[in-house]
Structure 1
Amino acid sequence: MDDLVTARLVLHPMTASEAQRVVAGKSDSGARWAPGYPTDGDVSAARRFLATCASTGDPQPFGNYEIRRREDGQAIGGPGFHGPADTDGSVTIGYGLIPSVRGKGYATEALRGLLLFARARGATRVKGDADHDNIASQRVMLAAGMQPAGQDERVRYFEFAWTDTTANTDPRP
């Protein structure tokens, strides 16, 4: 599968061998990791990805990605789908960045790219959530065009849904 390219980022579809290196914390000679990558969240996502690969096969295109800056090729975080679309066409997404690059719009840019990608692959809805105290993540989802979709005692839920009248709508406000 090809990389997804946005204005400042490359969203690289993770392979099982790349996920194994993330879990082990060992970059190969071709990968360039920014200081602080992978985070605990990246390692957890890579483990989930590997478990999915082992149980049902590679979930691409709805698998994990690595966020790389186009300017230097360094990995700075990772977005990923939590699996293929369900019977209603819904997918769930998560994302994270190393602390040193937060607040620069990278997460919003990556999320917008994956929203468009999901739609092009037939998804009808993309869901995400953030803890109540994770205001930054909530702002990322809102900036990417996702809408509040409820909450419980722990998290707030967000979604972007396409209807027949919004089938070709770009998820930017």
Structure 2
Amino acid sequence: MVPPIRFVTERLDVSPWDTLLDDAEARPGFVAALTRLLTPEVTRHLPPVWQIAPGSDDFDSWIAARRAESAIATVHQSQGGALAGLLVTRAGDTDEALTVGYLFGTRHWGQGYATELMRGVVGWAARNGYARLEAGVVRDNAASAAVLTKTGFVPACVTGDGVDTYRLDIGSG
């Protein structure tokens, strides 16, 4: 089980989405922001289970399924508090490994947020006893592959399904 992820970077505030989902007053606004965030353009490089039609009437089931499979954190802008993206984590191949993924809304693309987030994840993982981070990137998502490389990840495996895996050994990152 992945412990709750909380950290702050220069421009980002990262905390478990459970806090917002479990708060009856905060949930409706958060779900509305999440619905606006998860556009087809944002989710196109993600696994099929992350695809959700805009205006889907089964969003609660989609959220429950994501909660069951991963530990998810919100990524809010420190200034203004806008929901910028999500950080998705789950246990890796060993107890010392953590699998990570992320997404950002289109208006937050190209501003260095993903690199800033991943650097924060590396620091958080080191402080929490993880020795390795793992990530997968769909081959045609060059921007995410560049973010991983920039933050110290190295290619680990090229798969036949179009997803390339990356890893970062914390001691060497």
TM-score of the superposed pair, with normalisation by structure 2 = 0.72
Q: Which amino acid aligns with 1:136?
A: A
**Structure (1 or 2) with the greater helix fraction:** 2
Unaligned runs of 5+ in 1: 53-58
Report what 1:70 is aligned to: 78
Secondary structure of 2:102's match? strand
Report what 2:12 is aligned to: 9
Taking the aligned partners of 1:135 and 1:69, their CA distance within structure 2 comes to 24
Kept in 2, the 8 Å contact 1:19–1:46? The answer is no
Q: Among 130, 140, 148, which residue is 1:141 paired with?
A: 148
Q: Among 1, 18, 21, which residue is 2:21 paired with?
A: 18
When residues 20 and 38 of structure 1 are mapped into structure 2, their CA distance, relative to the original with a 3 A threshold, is: farther
**Number of paired residues?**
150
Give the alignment of 1:20-169 within 5 angstroms: 26-28=28-30, 33=33, 36-39=36-39, 41=43, 44=50, 46-52=63-69, 63-81=71-89, 83-153=90-160, 154-162=162-170, 166=171
Q: CA RMSD in A?
A: 3.2
When residues 102 and 19 of structure 1 are mapped into structure 2, their CA distance, relative to the original with a 3 A threshold, is: farther
TM-score of the superposed pair, with normalisation by structure 1 = 0.72
Q: Deviations over 1:40-98 (max 9, x none)?
A: 6499384444224xxxxxx7xxx2111100111011110121x2355351111110001
Unaligned runs of 5+ in 2: 51-61
Task: Name whichever of 145-154 and 134-143 sits farther off.
Answer: 145-154
Q: Which amino acid aligns with 2:125?
A: A
Taking the aligned partners of 2:151 and 2:5, their CA distance within structure 1 comes to 23
Taking the aligned partners of 1:150 and 1:6, their CA distance within structure 2 comes to 30
Secondary structure of 1:122's match? coil
**How many angstroms does 1:115 deviate by?**
1.5
Kept in 1, the 8 Å contact 2:5–2:14? The answer is no
When residues 17 and 36 of structure 1 are mapped into structure 2, their CA distance, relative to the original with a 3 A threshold, is: closer
Report what 2:58 is aligned to: none
